[in-house]
Amino acid sequence: MLTDTKIKQAKPAEKPYKLFDERGLYLIVTPSGGKWWRLKYYHGGKEKLLALGTYPDVPLRDARERRDDARKKLAAEVDPNAERKAAKQQREDSFEAVAREWCAKFSASWVEEHTTTVIGRLEKNVFPWLGTLPIAEITAPELLTALRRIESRGAVEVARRVNQVCGAVFRYAIATGRASRDVSTDLRGALAPVVEKHHGAVTDPKEVATLMRALNGYQGSFIVRCALRFSALTFARPGEIRKATWSEIDLDNATWRISAERMKMRREHIVPLSRQAVEVLRELRPLTGSGLYVFPGNRSADRAMSENTICAALRYLGYAQGKATAHGFRSTASTLLHEMGWQSDVIERQLAHVEQNAIKGAYNRAEHLPERTRMMQAWADYLDGSEKVVPLRATA
């Protein structure tokens, strides 16, 4: 029989050799110094080996316990190797394993925030209850029970989005041979209806004037004040603004070029910068220009501004969430620019909305750039004069 002392004193040789314990347990000592536990056993008339770990991670006492457990299974006509393989296969075919595999495969085409949101929702709402179950065995009632937990928090829209994600995971499992159907489709009509909500936005010209006065009078952080004004001037998506980098900015040519990787629709986007937007950036550059981000976070210059910062600043200025939001600047600009006569194609392209018509949408990223440049300058001039509610007109 082996002892701990004998195992510790075992030295590597030119070839692997074995140190035997009892009842089929032995240790292989490799030329590189590794020590591997193995159990020799017979099942179905065939000699087989079972790996029991490595020494010293698995000490002699634990190796013997693992041997005894395996021999108990053999006494019950259970092959421990086959059982281990089945357990591994079950883990690989579990909902969580398939979902993470699906996410890893397709997230390369997603923006970072979307990937974080998708996997975060699954980790919080699905994996704790369904993650370990074989995906092929999950039933519609089991999925519904998980979604009901989300609805009970009042997050009705989140429940529907999680069901959509689960549907994509089920369809991926079908395609890879690990499930036969998508049970999420059985929940049509079973989830609570979503009450449509819109991002709070100011669209009345007089209220726009009040909002601009409030932004210009913001007494908090200078970086946040600049971000507020820049948001109003460019009406880009909040995530695009807070993660803007100085390398994307060309002040001499008054353009902000956002890479496809950072855009929601995975298309590079050019934002013409008005004189006012350039002025905001020139004022800010001495403070943040040596770092990566135009609008860094309060705690670290190496991290982008928090996604809640702009909305928190609007709350500080007295605007409730239903009245004004970071995303609401887009609705404000879209509504007023349409009302004031600017072409819809120009506005939609500046909003970086993807053209649904595949042929029309195949134009290059600079489509309507001269018109967009004029529009962005006119919009900035309007905001500057909005205290007098100056009408904005689309001009050639």
| Residues marked as catalytic | 237, 264, 327, 330, 353, 363
3-state secondary structure 268-335: CEEEECCHHHHHHHHHHHHHHCCCCECCECCCCCCCECCCCHHHHHHHHCCCCCCCCCCCHHHHHHHH
Which residues lie across from 343 on neighbouring strands?
A: none
What does the alpha-carbon distance between residue 274 and residue 69 come to, in Å, rounded to a whole number? 74
Q: How far apart are CA 340 and CA 390, in angstroms?
A: 11
**Would you mind telling me the total number of residues written for the chain in this entry?**
396
Using a CB cutoff of 8 Å and minimum separation of 24, what contacts does 124-131 make? Answer: 125/149, 125/150, 125/158, 125/162, 126/95, 126/99, 126/162, 126/166, 127/95, 127/96, 127/99, 130/95, 130/96, 131/94, 131/95, 131/96, 131/99
Write out the two tokens for 142.
Answer: 């089991």
* 51-56 contacts at long range (C-beta below 8 A, 24 or more positions apart): 52/25, 55/7, 55/27
For residue 370, is the peptide bond before it cis, meaning its omega torsion is within 30 degrees of 0?
A: no
